[in-house]
Structure 1
Amino acid sequence: MLRRSSLVLWALALALTALPYVPFLGGWSGSYAALTMGSCWGFMRYADVSMALLPLYAVPEPVIVLVGFGLWALLAWKGMPRWGRAAGWLSVLGITWPTLLEFGFAVPDLLTGDGCAQTWAPFLGEGPSILGHVGEVLPALLILVAVRVPRTTPRGGIARTAAAAFAVLLLLGLQTGDRARGKVTEAAGEKCGSWDLRYGPRPVGRGDRETAFVCVARGQEYVLPPKLRDLPDAELVAFGRNLCGASMRADPKELGRLHGETGVSVDTVETTQALALLCPEVDAREQAEEKRRQAENDEFTATAKKRCAGLPPHRPRIRAAVRGATSMWSDYGAVTAIEDEEPEGTAALDKAFGNDLVGAAKGELAILTADEAMHVCVTVEGYGRRPPVERKGWEKVVEIGYTSPKGELTYWAEAAADLPNPLVKGPGRYRVRVHMRGAGAAMKDDGDARQQFLVMIFPGSSRGTEVLR
């Protein structure tokens, strides 16, 4: 026989499980602090198990309650109340297993500490998340009472003690919902004024490191996704420390899973620099890597200088007034020289594409290189009069006009200190003759510092372009 009180309890349980599906209540997105990983062993295991059980999350609790009610009602009507009670217990398990899973894996993390309490806070009750626990536990209690089979013997002391302990634990778990969200440091505030990814002081001590990380994580667009920047300071720091662990382990599977769950790419330059502010181990690794890169670059540059210095010097047919030679780095497929400030446009470079070698604008020269980024060997000579044309041994020779506003063409990319001013007559009109060879060698393996340029500059009024070879 179906008791009216049991029907009422089942109806209340169904209503409570349906509440989170009301659009207003179901729209809360939760906190992303629970996506932290690394030092929180229990949470890492919880994330793995949750992913494995992901299809079960898609089953709505009201459906589970309705199915449980149907089975219970059928079995109770058939005179099998104990089997009906078992159906009710199964429906209770169906709506409470996510919470039981969370509490089960949270216990070892909460016992060990290490910032994991902040990691689990959104799951165990922070703000609106408490509604989820009430929506699971209270309906479960109603169903257990509804399917209760009257006892013929009094309940023992052990059973009463277990029930009381469960109630206390339930109240303690729900009480965590009263926890304050925590301090949130504003990135634009006075406290964050001195912290930056690349510039400013380096943090000293744990407090400075945490403040620096919080400031740059909130203020720098590419460090963390927007959904994570508004976490309370303590949660953000805990999340950052877990990212440090993932960064140090550098396990591709872990990094891929982390990116999929949080949107964070730990191996980006900005995120790595932010983690170096927070975690000494990441900072030490990055400093060692920077020293290694610097030593490698110094060796690379020294090899290029040695290679260019070993080339036979040019022997002009008339005496040059000034002469200099050096290795020079090519940026974006060109080396440039200017007399004053960096030009706003690309007039000289655009003209160079017209003859595939050299172009000029007022106060600016641009010479095209074979590759976009490499060292080239450049010799610059300044003459008081026009030197004879030299074609032999060069792949290409082009002569153009150049107008000097100040008579000081000394800013040759990175090599200003190694090259003299070739404008021997001061401001005025000049001719620039550029010779090139080694373009093919520059495009092969170990092609750095294989392309050579000879730049002759002398007074001349013509503005035309002559392709001499």
Structure 2
Amino acid sequence: MLRRSSLVLWALALALTALPYAISLTMEGSGFLTMSMAGTCPGFELHSDVSMALLPLYVVPEPLIALVGFGFWLLLVRKGRPRWGRAAGWLAAVGVTWPTLLELGFAAVDLVGNEGCRQTWAPFFRGAMSIMWTAGDALTLALILVAVRVRRTTPRGWIARTAGAVLAVLLLVGLQTGDSVVGKVTEAAEEKCRPWDLRQGTRPAGRTDRETAFVCVARRNSRLLPRRFRELPDAELVAFGRSLCRASVRADPKELERLRGETGVTVGIETTQALTLLCPEVDAREQAEEERQDAENDAFIATAKKRCASLPPHRPRIRPAVQGAASMWSDYGAVTAFEGEEPPEGAALDKAFGNDLVGAVKGELAILTADEAMHVCVTVEGYGTRPPVEREGWEKVVEIGYTSPEGELTHWAEAAADLPNPLVKGPGRYRVRVHMRGADAAMKDDGDARQRFLVMIFPGSSRRTEILR
């Protein structure tokens, strides 16, 4: 028999399923963000996996599910099959409320776990909106179950009557306990934050230090996370950070792009540095990568030095007072030398573009290279008198004037220890003759340490620039 009370309960349930859609229409730019917060909580992990597997079901509107369930129930009851109608109602109730049922069920699994699990789950049930949606789903479920009930000839067992109440009480107590910790907010200016800075490269020891370091760095650096994440309570911020760690370790481009679209967080270099403070797996990966890059760079430098050392030495026509050779790194398309303690402002480099090879101002010398970042092989010779001009075998030869204020031209980038001071007469006026070859070879594949320079420096008062080849 069709009861009027059942129709009223169905009507209320249908209205409740439609309510969230009506509210969302009045909230500009609103959206629901599902964050996969990390943790070692089995229920939470299972919830994430199951939710992802059932993701297509999220697109089915709950009011449609409820309406279809109501239609089947009404048809079956009128056909005299109330028990089949009850089954249809149950399916509709589960179809409408399954996301909440999953959250409550898996949260109950973790409730007996450690404090961290309660902290991980608490954000799902905190705040007015979360409480409203959970309560609405619970009420919808209850309305449909009551509406489709079939009168029993035997009393229902006490276990079935009390299981739901016990579960609800346990969840509320557990989540309330976790929430007392979740609400804590560490300010970036606090004493405990002073040791932690990305620029210092200090690595924390232990879980507590890692969490504190990440929270401090995340709150201090406005470029790491959007403001809504930086202002989360500590435990929620740590949980979100661990979810970023898992995404970083998996390094799936599609997942990272989806994460950027949903949260506005790009897991780039600086964010990854912050994650090394929090997650040992990210820290270990980055240390391994750093060691790999160091080894690769050492091999790169060693190859350049070997390549330069294998070149036949320059045999000058007259004996120089000093001579030295080294592989040097070109920064910004030039190698430079200067006198004094402070690096120059680059005026010599500007002058070098006038003859496409070498420029000088008082106390500063700059030689242009074929590429912006590469090793070049440099031989420096200092003479007491003017040496003969050598053109054969060189692509360019340019001679310019140079004034030495201190008589110590030794700051030749990282090669200073390998090159002598060529200013054999001390402070005063000199001529600098630069020879170059191998520019084309330097621009080809494996062109590092393929360009060679010979720099002759000797006393001379002329300021003229001479293009000798």
Same fold, TM-score > 0.5, yes or no: yes
Identity %: 72
What are the equivalent positions in structure 2 for 1:406-417 lying under 5 Å apart?
406-417=406-417
- In structure 2, the partner of 1:195 is 196
- In structure 2, the partner of 1:169 is 167
- In structure 2, the partner of 1:56 is 57
Q: Does residue 1:118 correspond to 2:94, yes or no?
A: no
Structure 1 residues 378, 189: closer, same or farther in 2, change over 3 A? Answer: same
CA contact (8 A) 1:125 1:174 kept: no
Q: Please tell me the residue identity of whatever aligns with 2:422.
A: P
Rounded Cα–Cα distance in structure 2 between residues aligned with 1:335 and 1:299: 21
- In structure 2, the partner of 1:231 is 232
Q: How far does residue 31 in structure 1 lie from its aligned partner after superposition? A: 7.2
SS at match of 2:414: coil
- In structure 2, the partner of 1:325 is 325
Q: Please tell me the residue identity of whatever aligns with 2:359.
A: G
Q: Please tell me the residue identity of whatever aligns with 1:465.
A: T
Q: Does residue 1:213 correspond to 2:211, yes or no?
A: no
Q: Please tell me the residue identity of whatever aligns with 1:372.
A: E
Q: Please tell me the residue identity of whatever aligns with 1:409.
A: L
- In structure 1, the partner of 2:98 is 97
More moved, 177-186 vs 132-141:
177-186
- In structure 1, the partner of 2:145 is 144
Rounded Cα–Cα distance in structure 2 between residues aligned with 1:71 and 1:288: 61
SS at match of 2:63: helix
- In structure 1, the partner of 2:367 is 367
**RMSD between aligned alpha carbons?**
3.7
CA contact (8 A) 1:30 1:129 kept: no
CA contact (8 A) 1:223 1:271 kept: yes
Write out per-residue CA displacement over residues 143-193 of structure 1, whole angstroms, 9 at most, x where no aligned residue. Answer: 2222334x262423x2x4303212332344456664344212222333211
Q: Please tell me the residue identity of whatever aligns with 1:119.
A: T
Rounded Cα–Cα distance in structure 2 between residues aligned with 1:88 and 1:304: 77
CA contact (8 A) 2:108 2:167 kept: no
Structure 1 residues 87, 434: closer, same or farther in 2, change over 3 A? Answer: same
What are the equivalent positions in structure 2 for 1:3-402 lying under 5 Å apart?
3-21=3-21, 22-23=23-24, 34-37=35-38, 39-73=40-74, 76=77, 81-111=82-112, 113=114, 115-125=116-126, 128-149=129-150, 151=151, 153-156=153-156, 158=157, 160-173=158-171, 178=176, 179-180=179-180, 181-199=182-200, 201-220=202-221, 223-224=224-225, 226-241=227-242, 250-253=249-252, 256-257=254-255, 260-261=258-259, 268-280=268-280, 282-283=282-283, 286-287=286-287, 289-340=289-340, 341-344=342-345, 346-402=346-402
Q: Please tell me the residue identity of whatever aligns with 1:218.
A: R
Structure 1 residues 391, 191: closer, same or farther in 2, change over 3 A? Answer: same
* TM-score, normalised by the number of residues in structure 2: 0.82
CA contact (8 A) 1:377 1:452 kept: yes
SS at match of 1:380: strand
Q: How far does residue 136 in structure 1 lie from its aligned partner after superposition? A: 0.7
Task: State the number of aligned residues.
Answer: 460
Unmatched segments (≥5 aa) in structure 2: none
Rounded Cα–Cα distance in structure 2 between residues aligned with 1:94 and 1:418: 77
Structure 1 residues 278, 75: closer, same or farther in 2, change over 3 A? Answer: closer
SS at match of 2:329: strand
Q: How far does residue 378 in structure 1 lie from its aligned partner after superposition? A: 1.1
SS at match of 2:10: helix
Rounded Cα–Cα distance in structure 1 between residues aligned with 2:28 and 2:84: 34
Write out per-residue CA displacement over residues 369-390 of structure 1, whole angstroms, 9 at most, x where no aligned residue. Answer: 2333332221222344433221
Unmatched segments (≥5 aa) in structure 1: none
CA contact (8 A) 1:195 1:216 kept: yes
Rounded Cα–Cα distance in structure 1 between residues aligned with 2:322 and 2:338: 18
CA contact (8 A) 2:335 2:369 kept: yes
SS at match of 1:411: coil
Q: How far does residue 397 in structure 1 lie from its aligned partner after superposition? A: 1.3
Structure 1 residues 100, 90: closer, same or farther in 2, change over 3 A? Answer: same
SS at match of 1:35: coil
Q: Please tell me the residue identity of whatever aligns with 1:57.
A: Y
Structure 1 residues 245, 15: closer, same or farther in 2, change over 3 A? Answer: closer
Rounded Cα–Cα distance in structure 1 between residues aligned with 2:29 and 2:164: 31
CA contact (8 A) 1:336 1:367 kept: yes
SS at match of 1:187: coil
Write out per-residue CA displacement over residues 185-243 of structure 1, whole angstroms, 9 at most, x where no aligned residue. Answer: 22233321121224164433443233222222333456555554333323343454565
Structure 1 residues 41, 467: closer, same or farther in 2, change over 3 A? Answer: farther
Q: How far does residue 310 in structure 1 lie from its aligned partner after superposition? A: 4.2
CA contact (8 A) 1:38 1:246 kept: no
Structure 1 residues 300, 71: closer, same or farther in 2, change over 3 A? Answer: closer
Q: Please tell me the residue identity of whatever aligns with 1:453.
A: F
Structure 1 residues 426, 119: closer, same or farther in 2, change over 3 A? Answer: same
